[in-house]
Amino acid sequence: MKSPIEKFLEDVHHETLKINGGEPASYIPELATVNPDLFGITLATVDGYVYETGDTRTNFSIQSISKPFTYALALEDIGFEAVDEKIDVEPSGDSFNEISLEPGTGRPMNPMINAGAIAAVSLVRGGTNGSRPTRILNAYSSYAGRDLDIDDDVFTSELVNGHRNRAIGHMLRNFGILETDPNPVLKDYFMQCSVQVDCRDLAVMAATLANNGVNPFIGQRVMEVDVVERVLSVMTTCGMYDAAGEWVTSVGMPAKSGVGGGIIAVLPGQVGLAVFAPPLDAFGHSVRGMAACERISRELELHFVRAGRTGRSTVRSSYPITNAPSGIRRNDESAEVLEEHGYRARVLELQGDLLFAGAEAMVRAITELPADVEHVVLDIRRVDEVAEISLRMLVSAWQELKNENRTLLLVDPESKVASYLESTPEHEKSPVPVFDTRSGAVEWCESTLIRRYGNELCLPSKVEARNSPALGTMSDADANALQELMVERTYDAGDIIRRVGQKFGGVHFIESGTVAGFLRDTSGDRVQTAKLSAGMTFGELALGSEDRQETTVKAVGKVSIKLLEAATIDTLEEENPRLSVALWKALTRDAYVRVDQQLREMAVRTRD
């Protein structure tokens, strides 16, 4: 099943590819030879999942996207105070290659412009013994989660043609920002700009920043949290140079561009975004990359103002319905069907906020379900805020499920999602079943699976008391003898058969129809505990509760019952002890089956 996010990115790629304009960077001759039609988009989540479309595995040079990562390395090497003495953190309002220095001190305005980036390189340890380029490359590799290399052709082109950067380097030496010969520093700067990456590498590096410095794909901390905080702050105000204001307004994520055609954007706690398209605008930013980022941010609601709360892990748990049955007691034939086919229905319990990151986790959990899962129960009772993008993504996932003849069900008593789905044209054609309780949704799945994979014995409309599963261990003669001792009772829809607090009144054998059991929870609300149909029994559990009925039992529709009264059981114990013992053995066995169901239910509820 294709993810709605993957499909969305493909649509963005297809539409944005039509945008023309801009030219690849020409002041570095090697960059001017890049194919201008290349275009890739990659989205990486903080839990280590990648969505990508287009030319995402094509290598290109990282260029200025390297700047925040070298700045981070300098901060970790010599500390914030020492770095701040050499590089300010103020927006310059100038283009990336301006000689923008602070009056009086000569400090570069920030580490994102070339002057600040060259200064940052000089602060990375290892410059005296020639190990600085290796340290920088190793650091980038740890951020990307794989070994990166240098593009020698780009490096040579930078080295031969980087006259303006040389002028910046000597200016920094003049003001004492560079304390030694600028040429080795410049060489290392050209090297870092020539590191080969692809779009996926950049998305992983962005996701590492989004994940507070822990690379989500290798599970290692590669950058300290306070450093990430500083780097993202400077990227927000300075990363897009003289277009920073427009970027924050339209996209709203810390970002960095490079003249190689790449852009990274970071939504802390949620995702890293990377795009690659070589033609640049007047600011040195990828034309198609800017357009793609704006649309992705707008339609996925990634602007930091909208997506400010991360929340807890959205998918609380995922399990087949056999792990937590509905509470309906099934006959042996039905139980066998559910044992064999119950995995075809699965419950996904959600919690927290359904903003983009939560919606992404939700639809990923749905799309990654095996193809033989026919029914998906989405339990959203623990969900708090639901963003518009989450609703749209759920509709897309729902459509994909329908296309594969699979069913989506909602447990949504407060209609946080159901009301939106009901307003869609798709709902008129194929409504989503909505339930107040998880048990109700699971019951629907059970009955559907039994009808599909079972036979006429699984869901009988009438079962004589002597054929009840509760008496399954008894001989036919004993079961017939017991039925002779029973009295018949009939009830109409809504009739109360047993009330909470009543003394043990006997064992009720349902021959046709359905009954439901209810009790009050700690808030005083009535909760359905079970639904029983033909062949099932009730009433006997009162014997384990000091002869006190613990639930109210009500008829659902017309019900026919055979009742083995309490007085009859007492007489049976005196007059036919053997038959009495056989009865209690059968009922005890049946009770253990129900206890096992309840224990599995408790395991699911307390597991997380």
- Enzyme catalytic residues: 64, 67, 189, 241, 259
- Please name which of 325, 316, 461, 470 lies closest in space to residue 380, comparing C-alpha atoms: 316
User: Coil, helix or strand for 469?
Assistant: helix
- Give the Cα separation of 365 and 357 in Å (integer): 12
- Give the Cα separation of 498 and 169 in Å (integer): 89
- Give the Cα separation of 464 and 239 in Å (integer): 77
Output phi, psi for 282, to 5 deg.
-70, -20
The one-character DSSP state at 242 is: G
- Give the Cα separation of 335 and 312 in Å (integer): 36
204: Cβ contacts below 8 Å, ≥ 6 apart: 44, 50, 143, 144, 145, 215, 216, 217, 272
C-beta of residue 191 within 8 angstroms of C-beta of residue 119 = no
C-beta of residue 591 within 8 angstroms of C-beta of residue 541 = yes
Place of tokens 């053997």: 578
- Buried/exposed 198-226: b ≥16 CB within 10 Å, e otherwise: bbbbbbbbbbbbbbbbbbbbeeeebbeee
Separation in Å, CA 203 to CA 279, 457, 512? 20, 56, 61
What is the DSSP annotation of 550-568?
-SEEEEEEEEEEEEEEHHH
Alpha helical stretches, state H, 474-513: 476-484
- Give the Cα separation of 313 and 350 in Å (integer): 8
User: Coil, helix or strand for 43?
Assistant: strand
User: Coil, helix or strand for 533?
Assistant: coil
Give the torsion sign (CA, 315, 317, 321, 326): negative
- Give the Cα separation of 12 and 28 in Å (integer): 30
The one-character DSSP state at 433 is: P
151: Cβ contacts below 8 Å, ≥ 6 apart: 30, 59, 61, 194, 195, 196
- Give the Cα separation of 117 and 261 in Å (integer): 18
Tell me the sheet residues that pair with 45: 271
- Give the Cα separation of 322 and 474 in Å (integer): 27
The H or E element spanning position 250 is helix 244-250
Query: E strands of 388-539, at which residues?
Result: 407-411, 434-435, 487-491, 496-498, 506-520, 526-532, 537-538
User: Coil, helix or strand for 262?
Assistant: strand
Tell me the sheet residues that pair with 553: 498, 517
